[in-house]
Amino acid sequence: MMRNQKSRAQECKVDHIDLIPGMPDDVAVDCLARVPHRSFGSMRGVCRGWRGAAAAPEFALARADAGANEDLVFLLQFGIPTDGNPAVGGDAPASTQAYGLSVYNVTTGEWRRERAAPPVPMFAQCAAVGSRLAVLGGWDTKTFEPVADVHVLDATTGVWRRGAPMRSARSFFACAEAGGKIYVAGGHDKLKNALKTAEAYDAGADAWDPLPDMSEERDECDGMATVAGDRFLAVSGYRTGRQGGFERDAEWFDPAARVWRRLERVRAPPSAAHVVVRGRVWCIEGTAMMEYRGERREWREVGPSPPGLKAGTARAVAVGGGERVVVTGAISSGGHALWVFDVKTKIWTVVCPPPEFAGFVFSVGSVRV
């Protein structure tokens, strides 16, 4: 018996291969954690040990400890040159323009196309939870009818998978992560009827939770998380009979009571873009960045709006734990740009994207890797 146990222990010892020969594994992980995100694919392809190390939860912690995190902003935008690549534009012929997924690395300033992405429905939206990015809904590019499709990217591994479809096909809906789940609400169906249905997606379990209906229909509403990040807010929108008549109110979902609660006096899209910064709702409208103070039910200015931004074109997302806000939109003088706002200094930095990334952005999401 003792001999058998000793033999098994020796086999286990022989089976272990150092991640980097002659180096303790914890030190090796610290080294691998400093590899730039653009090289993750190559790193994972070196050997099974490196692939396993990069997929382990400890790897993300090691990157954070090493100060090696990178903030990625994913942009669903028009004007994507397909080059005949079916992974980008489906059946589109070469050199046509399509709707697809681009990535801007806020940390390094690099741009790239997410070429491994499946065909993206027109006007699909995206939201991130942890290291996962979900692309949801939109229009079928042939029938122009709303779809319930969901595709999920693990930004750490670069691997895509098809997710469980939404329970309702919808487009132009509110969408955001809150409390570790991705919420969708409102939008419209294939008959252009505004919806008041809502559901929440658990990316880990790949399952949808049907939620109670909102109090009213909300087409083209905005979505965000607020109040410590655990409550989903559906902002504005309009009813079927009031096409384009945006309401100046909102509803937020109380996950404990599983009910929707109304919030009055919010700014209404499409003239405003909303983003949550450190638990508070910010609004980009006119010449200022405004913050909503729920306890006083009032708005106060927190900084200037992006210089040169054309009204009604902005999309916004917070990055770096709320240290910065990234805004995309059209420039008043023509073309499109990206702006990065430093929350501490209240200074905007204008980023001019390369021509192939300068198309109109419909939806944005951010992931820290």
Percent of the chain exceeding pLDDT 90 equals: 60
pLDDT at 82: 60
- DSSP bridge partners of 161: 152
Q: Which one has a higher pLDDT value, 288 or 354?
A: 354
Question: Using one digit for the tens of pLDDT, what is the confidence trace for 204-260?
Answer: 999 999 999 999 999 999 888 775 567 898 988 999 988 878 888 889 999 999 999
Q: Is the Cβ–Cβ distance between 116 and 138 less than 8 Å?
A: no
Are the C-beta atoms of 35 and 43 separated by less than 8 Å?
yes
Instruction: Identify whether the C-beta of residue 160 lies closer than 8 Å to the C-beta of residue 117.
Output: yes
Average pLDDT over residues 61-73: 93
- What pLDDT, in 10s, does the model give residues 73-89? 999 999 876 654 443 44
Largest CA distance in the chain: 82
Q: What is the mean pLDDT of the chain?
A: 86
Contact between 128 and 366 under an 8 Å Cβ cutoff? The reply is yes
Residue 333's Cα: distance from chain center in Å? Answer: 28
Tell me the sheet residues that pair with 125: 136
| Res 9 pLDDT > 70 | no
Q: How confident is the model at residue 90 (pLDDT cuts 50, 70, 90)?
A: very low
Residue 296, Cα to own-chain centre: how many angstroms? 30
Residue 338, pLDDT above cutoff 70:
yes
Task: For 193-208, write each residue's pLDDT tens digit.
Answer: 999 999 999 999 999 9
Residue 92 pLDDT level (bands cut at 50, 70, 90): very low
| Token pair for 151 | 């595709």
In order, the DSSP letters of 194-252 are B---EEEEETTTTEEEEEPPPSS--BT-EEEEETTTTEEEEE--B-GGGTT---SEEEE
13-27, 137-151, 244-258 — which is least confidently predicted?
A: 13-27
List strand residue ranges (DSSP E) for 106-172, in order.
111-113, 125-129, 132-136, 150-154, 159-162
Question: How far out from the chain centre does Cα 10 lie?
Answer: 47
**So what's the pLDDT on residue 128?**
95
pLDDT for the residue 157: 87
User: For the segment 97-106, what is each residue's pLDDT rounded down to a tens digit?
Assistant: 589 999 999 9
What strand order describes the sheet that includes 288-293?
273-277, 280-285, 288-293, 298-304
Which tops the pLDDT comparison, 157 or 258?
Answer: 258
> How far apart (Å, rounded) are the C-alpha atoms in residues 97 and 120?
13
Residue 140: what pLDDT? 95
pLDDT at 366 over 50: yes
Asked if residue 296 has pLDDT above 80, the reply is: no
At residue 121's C-alpha, the angle toward residues 110 and 194, to 5°, is 120
Contacts of 26 (CB under 8 A, 6+ apart): none
pTM of the entire predicted model: 0.87
Over its C-alpha atoms, the chain yields an Rg (Å, rounded) of: 22
